Structure 1
Amino acid sequence: MFEPWRMPESVQQACGVRVSADACAGAVDAWPLPLVDLEAATRAAKDRLHSLRRMPEVRAGKAAIVEKHASRKGRDDATRAARVKPAADSRQMGLFDAA
């Protein structure tokens, strides 16, 4: 179960465990409560990331990285030329060609 602290008391008893705050005290059958509220921590982290992404210096850094590594404008000829295979040598015979 991903969130055992939401397990009803009856299910805890059936499984032989208990979810409680004193689980860290050394009880063998106890499951600890979560350290943080997962939904609230996720929301706070996303908010911090989005606020950082809106900062002008972060946007400028992103634009510089995209310009250096992701921009492929004007390079179609070079990449296309590298992909063109040279013509096969007409003197080369196939495996089943008669001599």
Structure 2
Amino acid sequence: MSKKITNLAGFTPQGALGQMFARARALNELNQQLSAHLPEAFKSLSLCTIDNNTATFVTHNQALAFRVQKQPDVLLNALKQVALHTKIEKVIVKIDLHEY
């Protein structure tokens, strides 16, 4: 019996699930582009959403989250260098202490 191999790279479901996949792909691409514009100390940040002119990042490092709160312009400038269609005015950093 032969098994059929399915390539999910082009998977495009319809409806809300499809929108979620599209948004996740867009955020992954933005994270890759941002990585080139961030200083080494900020590389562990991950952009998780953009909503209402606010970019939300997540990190596992509490010290980095504190540093970003004191230096938000570093992230704002990096976001401006990446061709975004929205104007980001505020950054939020959330700390994820769970290990997967």
Give the TM-score taking structure 1 as reference length: 0.24
Give the TM-score taking structure 2 as reference length: 0.24
Q: Counting strand residues as a fraction of each chain, which structure ranks higher?
A: 2
